[in-house]
Structure 1
Amino acid sequence: MFHADEPIKTSAEDKLGRREFAKYVSDSILAYEDSSCLVLGIIGEWGSGKTSIINMITEHLEESNKTNLKIIKFNPWLFSGQEALLLNFFEELRNNLGNEIKEKLDKYLSKLVPDQIGVQLGLNIKYNIKSSKSSPENLEKIKDDLDKSVENANIKLVIVIDDIDRLTAEEIRQIFQMIKIVDLPNTVYISSFDKKTVVKALEKVQEGDGEEYLEKIIHVPFEIPPLGSKEIREILESELKELFKEDINIEDTLPYLKNMRNVKKYMNLLKFKFNAIGEETNKEDLANITILELFEPKLYKEIYENRESFTSYPSLGTLNPLYEKATKKMKEIYKKADNNAKNILKSLFPLLNNITWPYDELRKEKRICTVENFDTYFKLSINESLNLSSDQIRQLIKATEDSKALKKIISKDNFLYLKFLNIHVDEIPPENIVNVLDTLLDIEFNHPDFYGCCSLSCEIIFKLLRKMETDRRLQVIKKSIRNGQSIYLALYTFATQGEEKLQVLGEKELESLINLLIEKLHRLAQTDLHGLFYPDTFGNIIELWNVIEPYGVDPYIRELMKDDHLLVEFIKRTTPRFNLQDFVRVDKLDKNEREDLIRRLEKLSSQKELANNAKRILEQLKME
């Protein structure tokens, strides 16, 4: 439910403790027995709740059940121009009076109002304005007759004129002149306005002191009791808890919210944004960035325009020159902000406090300071190339119940889904851990950042193993490796990770696992040599194989090089750092085998795409 900056209608809606003040004013009006016209002023700044108080005053008056009480409400802000203002006020007044009083009022107005107003009110036909204005009949006598008619009618008029401070300077003066003209007996005017605004306007359109002029019009000024910081805090806390369903820290937002109008404007914008993207954001960050959007628009724009600086993170340490350069603009913007804005910035971007948190935690909490989540706070939609929605994350975690379903989801975008599986690994139910391990060690990644996918998978594997009972870990991971297709990921995970392997598995268990990997490599090489070495991971596989079993790959490479087609693929997949003698016992090649290989390599080196790699292998052969 949005506040359209609307005032409350009844005392039951009052959250500011103003009902007693309103009741005091209404009781004073009811107790006023003098017949003289009385003008009350409900005075307060914009956003202080003047209209809400007037509504509660009229509510109390209506509940008094005084049969002779007649309340006339007039909002001059609804009409544009002085002529429309006068016309509508007099029309409203005439429509609420009995025929006798109305007739005398018309006669009185015919002497005072401009001709064009009289024409529209029908006074020219009734009284012939021109002749009536030149008539010798005394204006004072006409006014006396009108006053006596009102007194004899035994009615009490309460005329409410709200929002006077929203008018132009000329219209403000017109309103007060109108009150002076229609100063009927048994009548109480309730006028509401911001005193500073009205005084300034009066001084602009007439000579003299605006405050003195106002004092002559307003007989009894009622200053609205200002809201204290305690009341503002309580209201804001209540509104935010209703929206977020939890408490958040509001200390940094309070300096911007000094009155209810600002609170309403803030809550309206915050509710709109929360309804659009609330689930995809950190609630406290959303509350804070919304404060800047509303009250510090220039700063808000600067943050958005310097996205890279505000989302930099010291992966290489805060003293790294690249990090210092990246965050330079953020620090410059922070330095020129005022103290209130600085507090908000430090809350949004913890690096300004020289605090570094685990980046995955910041991602998981959907903080604005992360690359993945930054745009969401400004565009009201997630960046689909960097981020997953809360619904997609729930689907990802749900898919861990079934290996096929999980593989299907991860296949959509290997890196993106693995990244969020890693971030939310703690949410994977214990009974689904085996499914996830089976999936990771079976899937073939097709993402451009292949090694990034392997690194993420490795992190997930170790995190999940840590969640299992120690005596189950080896058995479960062995089963996943036996059944899985991704021999490279298994090698990458257990042949390269140092201390973490020993901490998770233990020395004997790791040795057993390495033996399983060696067995599987030999079995694959014997049954599908082409399938093992054809993928782009060929070079990495033989390097890691060599780590756990030096020269274990030797017989298979020698076999592979006997086939012209496989030799071509072998040459294509070698890199500048590839050294044949690291994997093949070149010195064990017999003379015929060596000479045949050299001859074939020399022939292949004439092909442009193979030349460099073939020549490098030739040089390595000839050095022996």
Structure 2
Amino acid sequence: MSASDYTGIVKKTDAPSPIGDRAIQRGQDDRLGYRDVANRIALSLVDHGCDGGLVIGIEGAWGSGKSSLLGLIEEALGKLPTDKQPTVINFRPWLVGNRDALLTSLFGSISHAIADIKLSKGDATDSTAAKVKVTAEALRKFTAAIGRAGELVEVAGNAADYKPAKFIGGLLKGGREATKDKADDHSLDKLKEKLVRSLGDLGHRFVITIDDVDRLEPAEVIEVLRLARSVADFPNVIYLLCYDSEILSRSIEKAARVQDGHAYLEKIVQLTVMVPKPESFQLRQWFSDELKAIASTKTDDEHSRLKSVLDYEGGRQLRTPRSVVRTLDSIRFFWPPLRDSKADLADLVWLLLIKDGNPSLYRWIEDYCATAAVLSLGTARVEEHDRAEDTKKLLNTVGESYFDDLQYRHYFAQQLAGLDIDFAENGSKFKLHQRVADTTRDEAIREHRLASPDHYRLYFAMSGPTHALTQQELNELWLAADSGQLDTGSLILEWHKKAPEGSLSKADILFERMPGFDAETLDGQRSKNFLLAFSNILDEAYHRRQFDLHWFNSIWDRAERLVPVLLSHLTADDRSDAIISMFEKGAATGWLTNLFRSETFSQGRHGNQKKQEVEWIFKSDELDTVSKLMIGRFQSMSLPEILASVDPVNLLYAWQQGDDGEGPNSLLSELTQTDEGFIETLENLSDLMTWRDLQYFLDLEITRNRTLSIAATCESKRISSRAKRLAAKFDWKSER
């Protein structure tokens, strides 16, 4: 493939890109009203009049919007009047190593911020500059005393060159170099007192934000909390810690070996702000508005079903802002290729809501759809105990009470093929893998639904199942069917060699799906070409890829079931012409014989298996025509020709059970006039049928006695030995 060949693959499209699980950025839309909350919190932070510091916890579950609220608070602080604006320090401890490095990084950040106070004021008064210098020096000495890394923290004059890597890289020498201040150092308490006084005199507020504290390792959590606690009483310094209190408490209990992590946390965090819990309808409205910009429905039915998905599944799965963002991103990723494959938007949204809300349920649905697809082909069955086990797995993914709401249960059952409701009071909620009506299955296939056995994998893997016919293959099929029966037959034989799904060939799959094609697609001419192709190539199909002729669901069996479907698309004249052409000239003698014999039984002309007239393939007068044509062909065949057919025994039975009951007997009688002819005929038939089968065509008692007589008295040793081998081949007593 040349470079130019890739242009169509990587070309830029208008498809929306996933935005990722990021907090609201400055200036972005606030869909849940967090900005008003952030503005009020910002005002409270700058109006806080306590001389000491403050540690505030912003609490909320993962995905509830803590980071977004924190970002909006910082945005609000930046919009305050200049004289009220605090300095915001975004401290990210997971980028730092051990405890000393944490201290170094935090106080380095504060030192840097102090320098920025001087720079931001421009031509500040000598008083302000002096206060900045005093505060910076006090901070450096305090840092040196508690972490022995003070030399690595620049004073205000050099803070513009501050680089975190410099602090971390110099830790090893920090403790040693810091000792040169030893002569001037006082006790830690006095150094802290001096720093507290300097910060108070400076009169500038610092807000230190630490996001995702609950995502740190337990040991790191303890170090960060201790760090916050060690400087919690610094005046004008406020910590904003974001965390999920339940997760953080468990980390505390593990690392600090305490029984109550919540109590431990309360000693450090003076007050908490709970992230507002958005209303369910707010989340659904946000999701709906964004979805409208990503994708659109094709039909009114799809639109109506999408509304139900948002109401029922959206109400259950869209619980946090993160769940909205993640599901929308999934749709942005999956929809463009699925849209090109004409997938159903309502089905996709339903599945992706579940995928992001309950991955275990998503996997259960995937397994269910795969099983339903195999069942639709008639190549497998699900036992009752398997249904019970699968139902148990379903309830385990969601909980016993999840489907108690009968309305939701009904809605859920509508999404999947063969899923019925169990209304019994103590029932299992659902009946799995029930029979799916052909019309229901065919509609799902036409609409490329999740319930379609040919398209379900689009929704899980963005590709069709291995057993499905692609649009390119269907285009090839219709081109052949329009061309004539020869091209149609050649394509069927080619597809018969392709076995993508176990024993099923591509031709088997085609024959399974053809009843679902509408009359406009499978018109009269195409139907006639298929019928004529069947009558010519199905014996060859057996020779190319053999199968059990007497078992159901073979390609012969599927083709036979298609005959009435195809005949129904023909006019009366075309129907008559097609039947005559098939049985008069068709090369697939074996399949035609099988069809003829099957219909002989169905119409009650032989045996006691007569079916209702609506189940007949041919009308009574049509079977008369078929019988006349097939009997004529049988009568013209020699025994070698009969024996060379795909199923000689079936042919002999069909001949006898048709309108010429004595035909096979007469042929065999003629061939067995001489001893050699008799033995040769029996040898030919002995590999095909038992003596019990043979009694329908030759008198068994006479045949047995004659064989024994030839073996005992024939003058020709060659013929005599052949007769003895035949006599020894069968257990005469068991055949009596």
| Cα drift, residue 96 of structure 1 | 3.3
The equivalent position to 2:547 in structure 1, one of 436, 439, 448, is 448
Match of 2:607 in 1: none
The equivalent position to 1:294 in structure 2, one of 319, 338, 359, is 359
The equivalent position to 1:570 in structure 2, one of 681, 685, 693, is 685
> Cα gap change, 1:61/1:340 in structure 2, threshold over 3 Å: closer, same or farther?
same
1:259 and 2:320 are equivalent in the alignment: yes
| Cα drift, residue 473 of structure 1 | 2.5
Match of 1:409 in 2: 495
> Cα gap change, 1:486/1:56 in structure 2, threshold over 3 Å: closer, same or farther?
farther
1:50 and 2:139 are equivalent in the alignment: no
Match of 1:419 in 2: 508
> Cα gap change, 1:593/1:193 in structure 2, threshold over 3 Å: closer, same or farther?
closer
Out of 280-289 and 75-84, give the one that drifted further.
Answer: 280-289
1:110 and 2:141 are equivalent in the alignment: yes
> Cα gap change, 1:563/1:212 in structure 2, threshold over 3 Å: closer, same or farther?
closer
* CA distance, structure 2, for counterparts of residue 292 and residue 554 of structure 1: 73
> Cα gap change, 1:471/1:392 in structure 2, threshold over 3 Å: closer, same or farther?
same
Match of 1:493 in 2: 595
The equivalent position to 2:106 in structure 1, one of 89, 101, 104, is 89
Contact 1:39 1:219 in 2 (8 A): yes
| AA aligned opposite 1:224 | V
State the SS of the aligned residue for 1:114: helix
> For each residue in 1:43-68, what CA deviation from the matched residue of structure 2 results, as whole angstroms up to 9, or x when unmatched?
21222111122233434555679596
* CA distance, structure 2, for counterparts of residue 286 and residue 33 of structure 1: 48
Out of 165-174 and 495-504, give the one that drifted further.
Answer: 495-504
Contact 2:527 2:566 in 1 (8 A): yes
> Cα gap change, 1:132/1:465 in structure 2, threshold over 3 Å: closer, same or farther?
farther
* CA distance, structure 1, for counterparts of residue 419 and residue 635 of structure 2: 51
Match of 2:419 in 1: 350
> Cα gap change, 1:80/1:377 in structure 2, threshold over 3 Å: closer, same or farther?
farther
Match of 1:339 in 2: 400
For structure 2, list consecutive stretches of 5 or more residues without a partner in the other structure: 1-16, 119-128, 155-173, 404-408, 421-427, 603-611
The equivalent position to 1:164 in structure 2, one of 194, 213, 219, is 213
Task: After TM superposition, list the pairs within 5 Å mapping 1:15-164 onto structure 2.
Answer: 15-26=31-42, 32=47, 40-62=56-78, 70-98=87-115, 101=132, 104-111=135-142, 114-121=146-153, 128-134=180-186, 139-149=192-202, 151=204, 157-164=206-213
| Cα drift, residue 459 of structure 1 | 1.4
State the SS of the aligned residue for 2:208: strand
> For each residue in 1:70-122, what CA deviation from the matched residue of structure 2 results, as whole angstroms up to 9, or x when unmatched?
44322223334433322222222323332653662342342255233335436
* CA distance, structure 1, for counterparts of residue 692 and residue 235 of structure 2: 101
Out of 435-444 and 268-277, give the one that drifted further.
Answer: 268-277
Match of 1:513 in 2: 626
Match of 1:534 in 2: 644
> For each residue in 1:447-489, what CA deviation from the matched residue of structure 2 results, as whole angstroms up to 9, or x when unmatched?
3234422111111222222344455333233334444321222
| AA aligned opposite 1:229 | S
Task: After TM superposition, list the pairs within 5 Å mapping 1:265-414 onto structure 2.
Answer: 290=355, 294-295=359-360, 323-324=383-384, 327=387, 329-330=389-390, 338-339=399-400, 350=419, 353-354=430-431, 356-358=434-436, 387-388=467-468, 390=470, 394=474, 397-398=477-478, 400-401=481-482, 402-403=487-488, 404-413=490-499
Contact 1:47 1:260 in 2 (8 A): yes
> Cα gap change, 1:300/1:409 in structure 2, threshold over 3 Å: closer, same or farther?
closer
> For each residue in 1:293-349, what CA deviation from the matched residue of structure 2 results, as whole angstroms up to 9, or x when unmatched?
73479x969x979x9999889x9xx9xxx9445545446656877325676799767
1:192 and 2:242 are equivalent in the alignment: yes
* CA distance, structure 1, for counterparts of residue 613 and residue 34 of structure 2: 64
Contact 2:355 2:361 in 1 (8 A): no
Q: Give the alignment's TM-score, normalised by structure 1.
A: 0.73
* CA distance, structure 1, for counterparts of residue 652 and residue 257 of structure 2: 95
Match of 2:406 in 1: none
* CA distance, structure 2, for counterparts of residue 254 and residue 94 of structure 1: 49
* CA distance, structure 1, for counterparts of residue 684 and residue 338 of structure 2: 50
Out of 250-259 and 467-476, give the one that drifted further.
Answer: 250-259
> Cα gap change, 1:138/1:291 in structure 2, threshold over 3 Å: closer, same or farther?
closer
For structure 1, list consecutive stretches of 5 or more residues without a partner in the other structure: none
Task: After TM superposition, list the pairs within 5 Å mapping 1:158-237 onto structure 2.
Answer: 158-167=207-216, 168=218, 169-177=221-229, 180-184=232-236, 189-198=239-248, 205=256, 221-233=272-284
> For each residue in 1:235-291, what CA deviation from the matched residue of structure 2 results, as whole angstroms up to 9, or x when unmatched?
667788968966567546865664344566778889999999998999579659857
* CA distance, structure 2, for counterparts of residue 33 and residue 586 of structure 1: 114
| AA aligned opposite 1:140 | E
* CA distance, structure 2, for counterparts of residue 577 and residue 271 of structure 1: 69
| Cα drift, residue 408 of structure 1 | 1.5
* CA distance, structure 2, for counterparts of residue 159 and residue 181 of structure 1: 13
Match of 1:546 in 2: 656
> Cα gap change, 1:450/1:190 in structure 2, threshold over 3 Å: closer, same or farther?
same
Out of 159-168 and 2-11, give the one that drifted further.
Answer: 2-11
* CA distance, structure 2, for counterparts of residue 47 and residue 469 of structure 1: 64
* CA distance, structure 2, for counterparts of residue 378 and residue 91 of structure 1: 50
* CA distance, structure 2, for counterparts of residue 558 and residue 57 of structure 1: 105
> For each residue in 1:562-619, what CA deviation from the matched residue of structure 2 results, as whole angstroms up to 9, or x when unmatched?
4976653332112465134x34689999x99999899799754533798229x699x8
| AA aligned opposite 1:117 | A
State the SS of the aligned residue for 1:457: helix
1:607 and 2:714 are equivalent in the alignment: no
RMSD of equivalent CA atoms? 5.6
| AA aligned opposite 1:77 | W
State the SS of the aligned residue for 2:435: coil
The equivalent position to 1:438 in structure 2, one of 532, 540, 547, is 532
* CA distance, structure 1, for counterparts of residue 624 and residue 355 of structure 2: 56
> Cα gap change, 1:44/1:572 in structure 2, threshold over 3 Å: closer, same or farther?
same
> Cα gap change, 1:493/1:53 in structure 2, threshold over 3 Å: closer, same or farther?
farther
> Cα gap change, 1:239/1:568 in structure 2, threshold over 3 Å: closer, same or farther?
farther
| Cα drift, residue 208 of structure 1 | 11
Between the two proteins, what is the percent identity of the paired residues? 18
* CA distance, structure 1, for counterparts of residue 507 and residue 593 of structure 2: 18
* CA distance, structure 2, for counterparts of residue 202 and residue 358 of structure 1: 55
Contact 2:93 2:210 in 1 (8 A): yes
> For each residue in 1:525-559, what CA deviation from the matched residue of structure 2 results, as whole angstroms up to 9, or x when unmatched?
16xx5344323411112222333222333444445
* CA distance, structure 2, for counterparts of residue 309 and residue 13 of structure 1: 44
* CA distance, structure 1, for counterparts of residue 63 and residue 558 of structure 2: 53
* CA distance, structure 2, for counterparts of residue 71 and residue 47 of structure 1: 24
State the SS of the aligned residue for 2:232: helix
State the SS of the aligned residue for 2:105: helix
State the SS of the aligned residue for 2:107: helix
Out of 87-96 and 2-11, give the one that drifted further.
Answer: 2-11
| AA aligned opposite 1:58 | E
Contact 1:334 1:345 in 2 (8 A): no
Contact 1:309 1:329 in 2 (8 A): no
| Cα drift, residue 375 of structure 1 | 11
* CA distance, structure 2, for counterparts of residue 292 and residue 218 of structure 1: 32
